[in-house]
Amino acid sequence: MTTRDYWSEMLLRVVRPVFTSLADDRLRERMPVEPHDEVRDRARYSHLEAVGRSLAGLGPWLNLSECAGEEATRRALLLEEVCQSLHRATDPQANDYLNFTEGQQPIVDAAYLALGLLRSWEAVWSRLDGRTRGNIVECLRATRSRKPLPSNWLLFSAMIEIVLFKAGGEWDRMRVDYAVRQHEQWYKGDGAYGDGPYFHWDYYNSFVIHPFLYEIVNAGGEVSATWAEFREPILKRIQRYAAVQERFIGPDGTFPPVGRSLTYRLGAFHALALVALRATLPSGVSPAGVRCALTAVIRRMMDRNDVFDSNGWLRIGFCGHQPSIGESYISTGSLYACSWGFLPLGLPARDPFWSDPDCDWTSRRVWAGEDCIADHAIC
């Protein structure tokens, strides 16, 4: 089995139960909701979490037309399931009509759904009928009644507006402008933003901040032109953060279990995976090295018999089933953030990320005694 085959099979193992069930209008029936001991309302949100987060990671692979053989067959089948799933998720008459209007959480996962649509636009949006497109637009608009927190949540509102723009409808430029400019104020230096005014030791720079900022200012057309002044610094910062992330991956495929939302597992490398997908890795970080590093992480985290339950659904944990590591806002649907680590599947097999020979990443070279270039901060 090639490394690419391993990645695609693991990604399918993660997301296929979500979209197969939703396409059948049976997601609520089939997906368990593993809750926190003290919080029992997560079933209101967990299903949209699973769908939005899965599509955000899966989107680039769906958008890749340059596939062959068994991979092409699997991708085509999943693409049809995703399109049917979006119809079910946004149809008020469906059993699996998802929650876009109750509580605060929907603004988060509607934004990940929007991000997934942005990343799969050519493959998915073009296949949707007019009614489904209209339903999606209405569901995204429904989240405007939620006031985002003064944190990375501003980017959720902005992402929703970007996709409303892409869909050709009415959109709120101010929500995008405020989010981008406010994060400029929250930049702390050396590739790191505060989550709001303060810096946190966690992976939210990767879970949300860098990927959302990058995708927003590179969305194309009027959007891209409006915020063009931010494109270069946002790229420079995500590249620096990606360089740090590559160095965080130890010789054995482990990385520091620091901060909240560790149950997102591979989602901690959302930023590194995105920079690899967009072929903008910083100098000194090779595509093949990132491939080998992320493969080591995937094997370390996912090749365990306690990651999935007996029906193939993810279980709460960081490396295995560890319910206590999940915060009160974590439930089964939250865990599908792990799909974000698989973004490079959106690159064709001939790309250097996949075709270059295996090589060691920075920490393996350093700990093996190899002479390596020094690391440097940026402003």
Domains defined along the chain, listed by start: 3-367 (1.50.10.10)
What global pTM score does this model have?
A: 0.97
**pLDDT for the residue 159:** 97
What does the DSSP assignment read for 330-372? --GGGGGGGGGGGGGGGS-TTSHHHHSPP---HHHHHHTT---
pLDDT less than 50: residues of the chain: none
pLDDT computed for residue 223 by the predictor = 74
Question: What's residue 37's pLDDT?
Answer: 67
Q: What is the mean pLDDT of the chain?
A: 96
What is the distance between the alpha carbons of residues 36 and 99, in angstroms, rounded to a whole number? 20
What pLDDT was estimated at residue 39? 65
Condensed to tens digits (0 to 9), the pLDDT of residues 1-26 reads 999 999 999 999 999 999 999 999 99
